[in-house]
Structure 1
Amino acid sequence: MSLLNIALTGLNASQKQLEVIGNNISNANTPGYSRQEVILNSANSQFMGVGYIGSGVDVTTIRRLHDAFTTEQMRTDTQLYKGYETYRDNIDQINKLLGDERTGIGPVLSDFFSALQTASDSPGFIPAREAFIGAASVLQDRFNLIYDRMDQQNKLINDQLRSYSGEVNTLASGIAQLNQDIQNAQGDSRRAPPNDLLDKRDEMVRQLSEIVAVDVVVADGNYDVYIGSGQALVIGFEANRLEAQPGVKDPSRSDIVFVSKKERLVITDSINGGQLGGTLKFRNENLDEALNYLGRVAVGVASSFNEQQALGINLFGAFGSDMFTDYNDQALARSRVQYNANNARPNDRVVEVYIRDIGQLSVSDYEMRFTGPRDANYEVVRLTDGEVVSSGVISGERPASVSFDGLEVKMVAGTFQQGDRYVFQPTRGAAKDFDLKLTLPAELAFAMPITGGSSLANQGTGSIDNGVLLDADTKAFAVPGELSPPILVVFESADRYTLLDNTDPLRPRQLQPPMRNLPFTPGIANDMFSNNPGETQVTSYSGWLPKVPFTQAANQPDVWPNNGFNPERITFETIGPDGKPQLLERLSTPGGASAKQVASELNGVPGVTARAFTEVELSKFRDATPPYDPPVPFEVYINGVDITMPGEELGDIQGIFSEGFIKEVPSPLTADFIANRINNSFALQDAGITAKSDGFSVKITSVDGDDIRIEMKGDRPQDVANARGDSFEVSNGQTVFLDSVGADTRGLLTQSRGFDFSDRGPYLYEFTTPYGDKASIELTDNYADADDMLLGIAQKIEAELASQERIKRNDPWLNGADAPGRVDVSIDERGNISFKVVMKMEGQGGTGSQKMTMGGQVDVVMDDGITMTTEPPFGNLFQGSPNAQPTYMGYQFQIDGRPVAGDRFEIGYNKDPSADNRNSERMIDLQTAKLLNGRDGGLNFNDAYSQLIQQIGLSTRQAQINTDTARVSLDQTMAAWQQVSGVNLDEEAARLVRFEQAYNANAQMIRVAQEIFNSLLGAFR
């Protein structure tokens, strides 16, 4: 090898180095360009005798400075940073939207309640009502505005998904093409690597990682690129595609679909990292959540105000109509359902989602899946935590329904099949649908429809509040502008009260079901009515009058008849978990059991409360005429206590009666005297037996339901014409009213003159027998005087009672012409007809006494779902299938203080709503009421909205921290890459000088070689 050749190899090597250095400097700012360098090797030496002489230098290759690990790390850091950055940019927008006072709900909601407070302070002032409606309109606009902004962001995301998909497709195609170009450039001989193509491919993959997280596998020099859960975006020279299409679960939210020659696969849920992953993360975790949170507040405000509006009356005296959107409107119920695009055909399903309890309402979406193996098998999954909240088998009937988390899902129609899926979005669009429906100020229902008052004649310190309405959808408000019926509260004693139907204030009657002798605790506020909407009551029959009083012979052992009640078996059932009746309890009552004993047994049944009391009425006390000779004192015993003992026999020191008892026994006995003696008897007081006289009759009551035993002694009738013995009449205290269903005789009938029922009839009357059976009579005769009329009416009633099957079986009062029982008819001052069945007790002279035992009544109160049946079906304690009547009135009143016997309180419809702000005050209470998120202790509206702001704010701060951290990590990785692969112009300049010197040195060597060659040629000349 000559010196010239050696110099030429050096010159060539230096030239290549200078060219590469120039290329490096030119591409110093080219994205993805890796610095290159020339790799040199000494040429093979040659043996020249004296040794091996070098033959110059060889240019082996041009190498790019590249570290695969750093490049891979940069891809990872890039997709993380871009994902966090995109997520942060998106969430920051709604964070500002929700938290800004100019766009958020909080300030507007506060203004809304402030305007309500002002209007409530002057409930009849129209301008204040108008201002409140204006504030409600602003609240509507704010809910709608925030929804619109978020909906626009959702639409923008759909556009971005299409854009990102297009960019991914472009890059994927470019990578596949570069794979092919690189393979072609290298050829079969594996020539020097095409550095620029390799750089371009790495840069394309890096750009792809800005959009989506990728996994790169090197195979035979090619980059195979995978995304999602392993979908091959690039394989060798082929690229697959991504598309954005309307969502399978929700067409308003685009899905990302992986498209290859073999399949179309929705991969939205498996996409992560990069701008695409950050955008989807924001939509799934924050945008949807924010809409659901906001929607829950909207539903809470609208539903609670609508509910409270419905419980009040407006200035017209009518119940309030919806103030805001009815979120259980059928169209809205159907809009909450998204039908999966892959559901089996035909598309005939109709599903509705109703909001039943805002307190249990979550902020989650749900998916209903028909899991098989049968078409009817289903499960409902709460998507926020994956919990199955309902599962089972839907019935074949339509509509079928399932309930969970405060929702009711109705499957209205269609062929539901295994594999079907439905997404429920209970609150997603609620802020959009929030709409003010009420625009007239007078229609604001600020007043309550009920009001209470005290009688001016009350002697106690009791006071009644104005009440609160719980439910307007009850029979109490069936007639517009009226309370049906108005209620009279009558205190029987300081600790007992009765509720009466006060439709006719001159003739209050028992409610149906009767609510009598209810307990009252003096000195504290007592609820007057039931608060349980599903509660029902069964009432037993009244106490029985025997066929004849029992005659106790004077010379025989003392015997007491029982109360006449038959033994009965009582069965309680409830609804089991499978929706079918199941036995709750079965028990038997012995014959002659007192009401107290029966109630005690029933109170042991879960969900059952029984009250007992006994009532008997004594009237028409008469002395014997003519007097019996020798006379037998007229004596009356109540539960063994002689209440007719003459005062002179008692002496000054006695322990039978309390101070204030009447000492002198009147002749004949009077109702007032009997009541006084009973109420002053120590023994009867201890037994809970009291009495009340109206001057004509005395009503004796055992508040605990003990039997009341009555014994009388006195003169018996003598065997002379028109003779009568000492006597009085007994009834069970039950008054039966006749209701006119034909020609109206109210105001026409009196007890002082007759009436012609044969003219202008028909005169039809209906009534309920003491057994609860329906009965009726028709009056057709012309009665000349009142006595004939009362007797004729009584005979009609007796005949109707005697024809009743149940009365035939038990034959309590009417036992032929000689029976001691009779019907006692009365006509009040308004012409209303009523009757009692009474029985006479008479003295037996010196031969003995007459006795009877009056049993009591039992009111059986049952929780929702409990039913009661008894055997035998024609017993005389309960009906075989008792008519369980609801006790829930739909309103509540409280009485406080210490009422006394005889005190009265009236409850009626509010006739002056303009001065009443009770319902608006309850609307104000909604501001602080914890109506939402009941499972976690409850949140009020402001707290629920603040919770949304806090969560979005926390996510925003965390997103910023993650973005900053990822930026630092990416910068460090880029610095590491720059150190290895980047072009440093200072270093390149230094290398340029060095390689230029080498180039010049090699050029000088060529000149020297030329001179030597020329010298040699000169030597041969």
Structure 2
Amino acid sequence: MSILNIGVSGLLAAQRSLATTSHNIANAATEGYSRQRTELESRAPLFHGGSYLGQGVQVGNVQRIQDDIVTANLRANLTNNSNAEVRTAFAERVENLLSDESTGLTLTLQNYFSAVQDVASDPTSLPARSVLLSQAETLSERFDNVNDQINEQRAMVNDQMRTAVDEINQYAQSLADLNRRIVSGSSGQGGLPNDLLDQRDLVLNRLAEKIDVSAVRQDDGALNVFIGSGQSLVMGGNARELVAERLTGDPNNLDIGYRTSNGAIVDITRFMTGGEIGALVETRRSVLDTAQNQLGLIGLTLATEFNEQNRLGLDLNDELGGDIFNLPQPDVYSLPGNSVNAIPAVTVDDVNELTASDYRLSYNGTTFLLTRQPENEPVQPPLAPALPATAATPAGGNTATGQLGVTVDDPTALQETDYTLTYDGANYQLTTNPGGVAVPLVADPSDATILVGDGLNFHTGDLAGAVAGDSWTITSDYDPDVLVGDGLRIDTTAIAAAAAGDEWLIQPTRNAASRMTVTMTDPADLAAISGALEDAANTGEADIAALRVTAAGTPETYLPATVVVNGAGDIYNVVSPSYGANAGAATVESFRVLDPKDADLFAAATPITYDSTQQQFVVNNERFALDPSGVTTIRANGWELQVRGEPTGVGPALDAFTINVTPTPAETLPTATTTVTGNGWEMDVRGTPAAYDTFTVDLSRGRPGDARNIQAMAELQDARVVGGETSFQNGYTNILAEVGNETRQAQIARDSSATLLADAQAQRESVSGVNLDEEAANMLRFQQAYQAAAQVIAVTSTLFDTLIAATRR
């Protein structure tokens, strides 16, 4: 090759280097730009005369200066920092909302219980009662306000999620377009469109701020992009569209899915991690859902406990109390794609067993399953049919005395039918009613008087004097379609046609805080006076769930009674006085059990007579003289009766009073409720009692100063009733602690990720950034090279001119 060609090659190489340097300088402030360098290489030498002669220089490539490891590190730190900043922003707002006295619940709860204590100190004070109702209204409104504020944050999450998904779709489409341009613009000699690669990396970095991404380079230079836990977003020149829609049945939450080729949408929310989207999903789950569900559980538990306790007492009109609060009901949503357009009827069966979780009810073709969400943890024990309420009604002509007890023996053997139990003079027979189908009865191995059939126990030992022909109608509300679990009662009747795979979302507490309203308006309706109370010394798990008057016009209904569990822990015995024919002006002042372990306490009936000639009450041949004060105390068989006044009549053995004992077999299943029947009332006792546990029932009138029931409400302040584990105030403190912990973790992550991001950006700049001083030096260097190459060409021209001149001579 001639000197001229060599000079031209040097000139062109210097020109290309100058152009690259100029390009670097021009893009020094361009975001995402990577410094470029012209790579020069010698041309292939020419073999001539036994030697290789140089042929000049050529441009091998314009190299984009970047490091894949540095780029990936920057992208990861962009994801982490964006995630931490979003999490911190939401967590701080929720924490401030819950912890501020003007917006949180702490002070409002304290004021409410202070008002309860004021009524307990003066139960007849209408002003104190009015203040309590006013504080109840304030508490209800505060629950509602806090819940609304959390819902506002939830709406912000939805809006931000929708915007982020739109941006992701834009970035995905841009990446697909750039992939196509890069593939078509790449030369077969290995050259790459560097500026397009920079643009693609910049878009990928912006995508990384929205969601965790990974990229795989194809042989043709295109990038396949995956998000979350490996869901494809961009494959070569094709981009998948994401959508933000309600896909899981919850009308308050947006979910993320992708649209398939046939138009169907697949929910991928649970796979979305990292970046802004991951932060929004995590914030909703760990902050908003947790705080709102736990807040709702506190409100629902408070309303339930106060309603139940108020229904166990007497108001200023000597009537059993009613509800103070309206009880919120669970939200139930059918998931998209279900085969039935219906939802099950769901109520709270036992608020103390309820958790602050959402639930998913699913049908597998044979069985309904209940799982806690979002953990997808099956409830333990699994859903099972609700235990039935059973009752035995004797036929009108029965000779037998006593009350036949019916309890559940085996829930899995229960049948959906009523029964008739008949005595033939020697044995009992059980038949279905209607139908008359015989049901086998077997004796309980531990007690032959207990007969077992179809999952029920029949306590024939409670009966006396049965003769052939006596019969009892056994009613049971057993319904296999009604299931219980985790404190929920789920009636699946409406979804009986469900198909395998059908699912429903159940939110027992999500919106409970906003629906807990005060229904009581009259301060006199507050039931401060004791009606039914548990003994503080009880050691069992049984507690009073309800009290009902069944015979309001009967005098005995309003006499005090004590319910005592026997030594075996399987019988509730109602020990109560009743008036005799000669009671006359004598009235029961008080009655209580002194010794639940007294061997004679559970005698069928103990008569108390009055000897008017001696002015003495007689019990078990023991005499108690009429007290001149007007109130006589009588003690026997472990009980104490105080009588005001003197019976009417003349005689040594007037029928004054009787101490009756009415046994009711206790359901021994932990979740069962036993209905204990007394003199004109029924009391539901939930759970399993211990031996000698006692409960007091007193519906007597004229006790306005009795504050034991309102005191029981005051004691709820420290009772561990929320989830069966903690108090109301501690439950709220736990919410603050959990949200505060999320906030601290997010803040730490934000600060550390910001530092790491700054380091990653600096590292990227050190590798790929444009240094203007360096580029200026390169400009001078390449300018000199250009001038030198031009001089070579000038020398070539002179030599050529000399040669031409020589040939002319």
TM-score where L is the length of structure 2: 0.72
State how 1:29-178 maps to structure 2 within 5 Å.
29-47=29-47, 49=49, 51-178=51-178
Structure 1 residue 835, shift from structure 2 partner: 9.5
How many Å separate the matches in 2 of 1:436 and 1:615? 47
1:473 aligns with 2:473: no
**1:246 CA drift (Å):** 1.5
Code of the aligned partner of 1:389:
Q
Structure 2 CA distance for partners of 1:108 and 1:69, relative to 1, 3 Å: same
Q: Are residues 1012 and 278 of structure 1, via their aligned partners in 2, closer, same or farther at CA, if it must alter by over 3 Å?
A: same
Give the deviation of 1:916 after TM superposition: 4.9
Counterpart secondary structure, 1:473: strand
Indicate the SS of the match to 1:402. Answer: strand
Is structure 2 residue 654 aligned with structure 1 residue 864?
no
Q: How far apart are residue 40 of structure 1 and its match?
A: 0.2
| CA-CA distance at 1:125 after TM superposition | 4.0
CA contact (8 A) 1:103 1:142 kept: yes
Q: 1:487 to 1:616 in 2, by over 3 A?
A: closer
- Residue in structure 2 matched with residue 379 of structure 1 by the alignment: 369
Kept in 1: contact 2:664–2:677 (CA 8 A): no
Q: Which residue of 2 aligns with 1:416?
A: 498
Deviations 1:510-553 (A, max 9, x none): 99xxx99x9744xxxx799xxxxxxxxxxxxxxxxxxxxxxxxx
Question: Hey, what's the Cα distance between the residues in 2 that align with 1:360 and 1:450?
Answer: 23
**Cα shift at 1:909:** 2.6
For residues 294 and 472 of structure 1, do their structure 2 counterparts lie closer, same or farther at Cα, with a shift above 3 Å needed?
Answer: closer
List runs of 5+ in structure 2 lacking aligned partners: 386-414, 417-477, 534-542, 563-573, 627-634, 639-646, 670-674, 686-695
Q: 1:429 to 1:399 in 2, by over 3 A?
A: farther
Alignment partner, residue 340 of structure 1? 335
Q: Which moved more, 1:214-223 or 1:317-326?
A: 317-326
Aligned to 2:464: none
- State the identity %: 30
Q: Which residue of 1 aligns with 2:360?
A: 367
**Residues 1:319 and 1:31: Cα distance change in structure 2 (over 3 Å):** same
Deviation at 1:52, TM superposition (A): 3.6
- For 1:134-533, list aligned pairs within 5 A: 134-186=134-186, 189-190=188-189, 192-220=191-219, 221-262=221-262, 263-327=264-328, 332-333=329-330, 336-345=331-340, 347=341, 349-372=342-365, 374=366, 377-383=367-373, 385=375, 386-391=377-382, 400-414=481-495, 415-448=497-530, 473-475=547-549, 478-479=552-553, 484-487=557-560, 499-502=576-579, 506-507=583-584, 520-521=594-595
Q: Distance in 1 between matches of 2:106 and 2:580?
A: 49
Partner of 1:963: 750
Distance of 2:276 and 2:709 partners within structure 1: 53
Q: Is the 8 A contact 1:476 1:485 kept in 2?
A: no
Question: Structure 1 residues 411 and 68, CA, compared in 2 at 3 Å: closer, same or farther?
Answer: same
State the SS of the aligned residue for 1:24. Answer: helix
For the Cα contact (< 8 Å) 2:27–2:33, is it kept in 1? yes
1:440–1:996 CA distance, 2 compared to 1 (3 A)? farther
Q: Structure 1 residue 957: deviation in Å?
A: 0.6
Give a deviation string over 1:460-517, Cα, whole Å, max 9, x none.
Answer: xxxxxxxxx967633377359x87242599xxxxxxx984224988259999xxx99x
In 1, are the aligned partners of 2:358 and 2:372 still within 8 Å (CA)? yes
Counterparts of 1:910 and 1:694, CA distance in 2 = 27
CA distance in 1 between counterparts of 2:684 and 2:359 reads: 36
2:438 maps to none
> What is the distance in 2 between the residues matched to 1:16 and 1:96?
60
In 1: Cα distance, 2:350 partner to 2:557 partner:
29
CA distance in 2: counterparts of 1:252 and 1:127, whole angstroms? 42
CA distance in 1, matches of 2:575, 2:173: 88
Greater C-alpha radius of gyration: 1
CA 1:340–1:389: 2 relative to 1, 3 Å: farther
Give the whole-Å Cα distance in 2 for the aligned partners of 1:886 and 1:614.
Answer: 16
Q: 1:509-658, aligned counterparts within 5 Å?
A: 520-521=594-595, 611=603
Match status 1:951 vs 2:738? yes
Letter in 2 for 1:388: V
- Contact kept? 2:15, 2:786, Cα under 8 Å: yes
Question: 1:177-216, CA deviations, whole angstroms, 9 ceiling, x for partnerless residues?
Answer: 11111111125x3452111111112222222121112222
2:343–2:504 CA contact under 8 A, matched in 1: no
Alpha-carbon spacing, 1:293–1:615, altered in 2? closer, same or farther (3 Å)? closer
Match of 2:770 in 1: 983
List per-residue Cα deviations over 1:759-785 (Å, max 9, x = no partner).
xxxxxxxxxxxxxxxxxxxxxxxxxxx
For 1:923, the aligned partner's letter is M
Deviations 1:552-586 (A, max 9, x none): xxxxxxxxxxxxxxxxxxxxxxxxxxxxxxxxxxx
Give how far 1:421 is off. Answer: 1.2
> In the alignment, is the contact (CA less than 8 A) between 2:610 and 2:655 conserved in 1?
no
Deviation at 1:381, TM superposition (A): 1.4
Q: What is the rounded CA distance, in whole Å, between the counterparts of 1:891 and 1:834 in structure 2?
A: 36
Of residues 391-400 and 101-110 in structure 1, the stretch that sits farther from structure 2 once superposed is 391-400
Q: Structure 1 689/251 Cα, relative in aligned 2: closer, same or farther at 3 Å?
A: closer
| Residue ranges of structure 1 left out of the alignment (5+ in a row) | 452-468, 490-496, 529-595, 600-608, 620-669, 680-687, 696-700, 705-826, 837-856, 868-882, 893-904
**Aligned counterparts of 1:694 and 1:75: Cα–Cα separation in 2:** 96
CA 1:398–1:863 in 2, change beyond 3 Å: closer, same or farther? closer
Aligned AA (2:312): L
AA in 2 matched with 1:358: V
Would you say 1:1002 and 2:792 are equivalent positions? Answer: no
Contact between 1:298 and 1:430, CA under 8 Å: does it hold in 2?
yes
Paired AA for residue 209 in structure 1: A
CA–CA distance in structure 2, aligned partners of residues 107 and 692 of structure 1: 58
* Equivalent residue number for residue 721 of structure 1: none
In 2 relative to 1, CA 181–357 (structure 1 residues): closer, same or farther, beyond 3 Å?
same
Conservation of the 8 A alpha-carbon contact between 1:212 and 1:272 = yes
**Cα distance between partner residues in 1 of 2:45 and 2:805:** 30
Is the alpha carbon distance of 1:505 and 1:157 closer, same or farther for their aligned partners in structure 2, counting shifts above 3 Å? farther
**C-alpha distance in 2 between matches for 1:615 and 1:1019:** 158
Structure 2 letter corresponding to 1:920: I
SS of alignment partner, residue 324 of structure 2: coil
Question: 2:101, 2:107 within 8 Å by CA — same for their partners in 1?
Answer: yes
User: Is the 1:477–1:483 contact (alpha carbons within 8 Å) kept by the matching residues of 2?
Assistant: no
CA distance in structure 1 between the aligned counterparts of 2:676 and 2:524, rounded to whole angstroms? 41
Q: Distance in 2 between matches of 1:369 and 1:136?
A: 38
Closer, same or farther: CA 477–425 of 1 in aligned 2, 3 Å: farther
Q: Is the Cα–Cα contact under 8 Å of residues 501 and 508 in structure 1 kept in the other structure?
A: no
Partner of 2:463: none
- The 1-side partners of 2:115 and 2:156 are apart by 37
Residue matched to 1:924: 714
Aligned-residue offset at 1:689: 7.5
User: Quick one: which amino acid aligns to residue 360 of structure 1?
Assistant: E
TM-score, normalising length: structure 1: 0.58
CA contact (8 A) 1:112 1:136 kept: yes
Shift in Å at residue 247 of structure 1? 2.6
Partner SS, residue 244 of structure 2:
strand
Give the CA deviation at 1:244.
1.2
CA distance in 2, matches of 1:143, 1:416: 37
